[in-house]
């Protein structure tokens, strides 16, 4: 189990919300690059190297494609590199395209981390009291998907065994799919009513019902949450105040490295890599303890 998985859901939620906001709030290339790298590294730790490679194999070409569209549409910027169909292609537009798509990708990876860590039971735990119906309908729809897939297979096999269709030939295949889907809809609607009645029989929606929760806010959770809020808000304040403002057009603004900027970059980098560092620290600690036993 990963360290971030074991944290109190509120702590993880606060972190992801702040980090996604930071990634989207600025066009500063340093911040975007830091967010991009850290999101990919952390995502790799959560889902494993092989899965990360699969997703990168799909996302890197997309990144290049997205980057390439910007200079085709936008002709702002002063450093003209060459002409394409009589339209100037500028260095600024190319770089803007690269960093804008990197920003989108970093948000994508942060959301991927989020959905790996924040499973629907955690979401219900956090929001079940504020929005009980919404979180219920959300988690039910998620739960229905593997259920429906399994049911589809069952119905398909039963129909085949009954000799209703052979599943060979294009027309027969499509007809069979349609038939199974239609059975599946009736079946799942009916059985869902059973589920609902059983829920009502057990007192769903009555006042004063408590819900089962295994999460406890420990002292270390509280400290970590406070740290996240402090560092994350500090980063956002620095960004909103314009400390790390960066313009691509008409010319690239220089990346100034005065004391304030260095502090801002350091804070943001520390915040972005915090989950990775925590995860590594936990792994190292585990190794040390293991060898002592």
Partner 1 sequence: MPGKKQKVKKAIGLAIMLVAIPLLIVLGVWLFEDRKYNVISMVIALLSCVPFFIRFEKGKNGAREIVVIAVMTAFSVIGRLAFSPIPAFKPVTAITIIAGIALGAESGFMVGSLTAIVSNIFFGQGPWTPFQMFVWGILGFVSGAVFYKKQTPNRWILSLAGLVGGVAYSLLMDVWSTVSMEGSFNFVRYLSYVGTSLPFMAMYAVSNVVFLLVLAKPFLTKINRIKTKYGIFQK
Binding residues for partner 1, rule: CB under 8 A, are 21, 24-25, 27, 66, 69-70, 73-74, 97, 100-101, 104, 107-108, 111-112, 114-115, 131-134, 136-138, 140-142, 144-145, 147-149, 178, 182, 185-186, 188-190, 192-193, 195-197, 199-200, 204-205
Token pair 């290049």: residue: 64
The closest of 14, 10, 7, 20 to 46, measured between CA atoms, is 7
**Of 198 and 220, which CB lies nearer to partner 1 in the complex structure?**
198
As measured in angstroms, the least distance from the Cβ of 151 to partner 1 is 11
As measured in angstroms, the least distance from the Cβ of 185 to partner 1 is 5
**Of 130 and 162, which CB lies nearer to partner 1 in the complex structure?**
130
**Of 240 and 262, which CB lies nearer to partner 1 in the complex structure?**
240
**In the structure encoding, which two tokens stand for residue 58, read together?**
């799909």
**In the structure encoding, which two tokens stand for residue 7, read together?**
């944290």
Cα–Cα dist 122/116, whole Å: 11
**Of 192 and 218, which CB lies nearer to partner 1 in the complex structure?**
192
**Of 66 and 278, which CB lies nearer to partner 1 in the complex structure?**
66
Cα–Cα dist 144/132, whole Å: 18
Phi, psi at 258, each rounded to 5°: -85, 175
As measured in angstroms, the least distance from the Cβ of 72 to partner 1 is 9
As measured in angstroms, the least distance from the Cβ of 70 to partner 1 is 6
As measured in angstroms, the least distance from the Cβ of 259 to partner 1 is 25
* Number of Cβ within a 10 Å radius of residue 126: 19
DSSP 39-72: HHHHHHHHH-HHHHHHHHHHHHHHHHHHHHHHHH
């Amino acid at each position: 189990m990963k360290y971030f998985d074991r944290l109190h859901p509120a702590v993880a939620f606060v972190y992801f919300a702040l980090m996604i906001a930071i990634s989207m709030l600025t066009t500063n290339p340093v911040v975007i690059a830091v967010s991009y790298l850290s999101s990919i590294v952390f995502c790799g730790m959560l889902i494993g190297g092989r899965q990360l490679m699969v997703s990168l194999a799909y996302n890197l070409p997309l990144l290049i494609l997205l980057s390439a569209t910007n200079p085709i549409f936008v002709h702002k910027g002063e450093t003209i590199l060459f002409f394409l169909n009589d339209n100037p292609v500028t260095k600024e537009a190319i770089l803007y395209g690269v960093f804008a798509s990197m920003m989108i990708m970093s948000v994508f990876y942060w959301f991927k981390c989020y959905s790996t860590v924040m499973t629907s039971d955690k979401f219900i735990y956090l929001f079940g009291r504020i929005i009980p119906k919404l979180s219920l309908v959300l988690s039910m729809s998620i739960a229905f998907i593997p259920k429906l897939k399994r049911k589809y297979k069952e119905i398909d096999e039963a129909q085949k065994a009954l000799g209703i269709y052979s599943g060979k030939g294009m027309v027969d295949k499509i007809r069979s799919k349609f038939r199974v889907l239609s059975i599946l809809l009736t079946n799942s609607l009916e059985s869902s009513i059973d589920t609902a009645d059983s829920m009502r029989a057990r007192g769903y929606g009555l006042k004063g019902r408590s819900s089962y929760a295994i999460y406890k806010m420990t002292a270390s959770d509280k400290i970590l949450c406070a740290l996240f809020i402090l560092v994350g808000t500090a980063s956002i304040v620095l960004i909103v105040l314009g400390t790390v403002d960066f313009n691509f057009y008409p010319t690239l603004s220089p990346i100034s490295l005065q004391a304030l900027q260095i502090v801002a970059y350091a804070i943001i980098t520390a915040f972005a890599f915090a989950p990775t560092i925590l995860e590594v620290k936990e792994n190292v600690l585990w190794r040390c303890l293991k060898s002592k036993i």
